[in-house]
Amino acid sequence: MTNPLTELQQERNLNVDDQFHDSLNHRSTVTEELLRGLSEQSGRLCVLGAGNCHDIDLPKLTQHFREIHLVDLDTDALNRAMVRQNVADSPSIYTHGETDLTGVWDQMADWLVNTVPSQQKVASTISKAARGPQCNVPGKFEMVASVCLLSQLIEGAVKSLGESHSQFADMVRAIRLGHLKLMIELIKPGGHGLLVTDIVSSVTAPALENTPNDLLPTYVADLINQHNFFHGLNPAFLCAIFGSDPEVAPHIDGYQLLNPWKWKLGKRVYAVTAIKFRCK
């Protein structure tokens, strides 16, 4: 049986497949942060949620990393991206398609199709999500990036469990925690992570598109104060996890929240930010 949540992501990837050029500013910002402070041939990079690769400049990254591993549910999107960026024959890039980065994607898809199970079964799924998925990407990495993936994973809970469900908030927290634990698990001691996430879109913040870049931090802060942000993605909450969560903070040797930037993708504009962190 085809997973309807996976089908949704595949359809979205196709719908914005032609937005590569329009994503230039976003792609340049993410790529520059991945390379900031790194020397030539800085080891191995893993990109979670690579998809269409609108977020990353693959030819440029190959100049600095001896291996790049691209991980996503959508194998076709990865293949299209490799061709688009003229790296399909690159010996240093490896793709890992059909990869569940929640560990509970099939369970959530089943809720979307069938009746949501008992609270006990939902609680069991929440516990599994919080442990983090088993990711069969080989080895450890000097750099692990998650590129606007966390919002998509959390959307799986929105679609399948529903915002009004009594265990929805617990499900969101579990997916978020499991994702951060996965990133940490993949990073070598002393290595770095870059959690890139969209915070809000022009659907609920129509003034976003015309907000000057120098005023964007203030505008986004105002939106957050008004509780206008995607579920589970308040940057302050994310920073609190890195700073004090008992399952995350002990592994972190410093983190930095970057100023937000805009990403126009199709008919929407997103406010995007990133947390760059170092593992012990």
- Name the DSSP letter for residue 66: S
**CB atoms inside a 10 Å sphere around CB 64:** 18
pLDDT for 68-121, tens place per residue?
999 999 999 999 999 999 999 999 999 999 999 999 999 999 998 888 789 999
Within 13 Å of residue 151, how many CA atoms lie on the same side as its CB? 18
Checking if the pLDDT of 275 tops 60, the result is: yes
Across residues 180-201, what is the average pLDDT? 97
* Distance (Å, whole) CA 202 – CA 207: 7
**CB atoms inside a 10 Å sphere around CB 12:** 17
Checking if the pLDDT of 230 tops 80, the result is: yes
CB 53, CB 29: distance < 8 Å: no
* Distance (Å, whole) CA 29 – CA 56: 9
Q: CA of 133: how far to CAs of 6, 107, 126, 175, 185, in Å?
A: 16, 13, 12, 10, 10
pLDDT for 42-63, tens place per residue?
799 999 999 999 999 999 999 9
CB 97, CB 135: distance < 8 Å: no
SS3 state at 44: strand
Q: Is the dihedral of CA 34, 36, 39, 40 positive or negative?
A: positive
CA angle 217, 220, 222 (to 5 degrees): 110
**CB atoms inside a 10 Å sphere around CB 243:** 12
Q: What mean pLDDT, rounded, does the chain reach?
A: 95
Identify the bridge partners of residue 263 per DSSP, sorted by sequence position: 270
Checking if the pLDDT of 1 tops 70, the result is: no
CB 102, CB 126: distance < 8 Å: no
pLDDT greater at residue 245 or residue 134: 245
Within 13 Å of residue 265, how many CA atoms lie on the same side as its CB? 23
Across residues 259-274, what is the average pLDDT? 96
147 burial class (0-12, 13-18, 19+ CB within 10 angstroms)? buried
pLDDT for the residue numbered 39: 61
Share of residues in the chain with pLDDT > 70 (%): 99
Structural domains of the chain sorted by starting position, each given as residue range(s) with its CATH number in brackets? 4-279 (3.40.50.150)
What confidence category does residue 135 fall into, taking pLDDT thresholds of 50, 70 and 90? Answer: confident
Checking if the pLDDT of 40 tops 70, the result is: no
Checking if the pLDDT of 237 tops 90, the result is: yes
Checking if the pLDDT of 37 tops 90, the result is: no
